[in-house]
């Protein structure tokens, strides 16, 4: 039997994650929809992984010219700043909001 292309596995994970997302998000209480938006924004900044790989491109040793390597490093650096703003900003603002929700004090 021939080997399955890894893209099929990645696609399978993608599809299953969509279903998980569907059921998990429907269970979010409407009162927390705003924190939901800010936290989903924060986690989408896991694109920082791509930014870190870009910044870490080794100049000179790889097959590409050093000019293009520096372009990647530069693009990665800016992407890293943007992603970091989102990560810190997103999680912290979500934290701040969630701390505000209080139940009636039992007198």
Partner 1 sequence: MKADLAALAYLVSGVLFILALRGLSSPVTSRAGNNRGMLGMAIAVVTTLWVANVVDQLTWGMIVVGIGIGGLIGAIIARRIAMTQMPQLVAAFHSLVGLAAVLVAGAALYSPSAYGIGSEGAIHTQSLIEMSLGLAIGAITFAGSLIAFAKLNGNMSGAPIILPARHLLNLLIFAAIVALIVFFVMHQPYWAFWTIAGLSFVFGITMIIPIGGADMPVVISMLNSYSGWAAAGIGFTLENTALIITGALVGSSGAILSYIMCKGMNRSFISVILGGFGGEVAVAGKAETRPVKQGSADDAAFIMKNAGSVIIVPGYGMAVAQAQHAVREMADKLKKEGVKVSYAIHPVAGRMPGHMNVLLAEANVPYDEVFELEDINSAFAQTDVAYVIGANDVTNPAAKSNPQSPIFGMPVLDVEKAKTVLFVKRGMGSGYAGIENELFYRDNTMMLFGDAKKMTEEIVKALG
Q: How far apart are CA 88 and CA 40, in angstroms?
A: 13
Q: Of 47-86, which residues contact partner 1 (CB under 8 A)?
A: 47-58, 62-65, 68-69, 71-73, 75-86
How far apart CA 67 and CA 40 sit, in angstroms, is 36
Between 3 and 31, name the residue whose CB sits nearer to partner 1: 31
- Alpha carbons 49 and 73: distance in angstroms, whole number: 13
Shortest CB 1 distance to partner 1, Å: 22
Task: Tell whether residue 44 is a contact of partner 1 (CB under 8 A).
Answer: yes
Any contact of residue 26 with partner 1 (CB under 8 A)? yes
Asked if 4 touches partner 1 (CB under 8 A), the answer is: no
Does position 18 interact with partner 1 (CB under 8 A)? The reply is yes
CB contact set of 80 (below 8 Å; sequence gap of 6+): 48, 51, 52, 54, 55
Q: Using the rule CB under 8 A, is 27 a contact of partner 1?
A: yes
- The residue to which tokens 């939901």 are assigned: 36
Does 31 help bind partner 1 (rule: CB under 8 A)?
yes
């Amino acid at each position: 039997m021939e080997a399955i292309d890894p893209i099929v596995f990645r696609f399978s994970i993608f599809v299953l994650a969509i279903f998980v997302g569907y059921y998990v998000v429907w269970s979010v209480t409407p009162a927390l929809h705003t924190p939901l938006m800010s936290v989903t924004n924060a986690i989408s900044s896991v694109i920082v992984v791509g930014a870190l790989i870009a910044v870490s491109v080794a100049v000179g040793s790889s097959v590409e010219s050093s000019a293009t390597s520096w372009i990647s490093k530069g693009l990665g650096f800016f992407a890293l700043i943007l992603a970091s703003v989102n990560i810190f900003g997103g999680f912290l603002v979500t934290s701040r909001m969630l701390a505000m929700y209080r139940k009636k004090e039992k007198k």
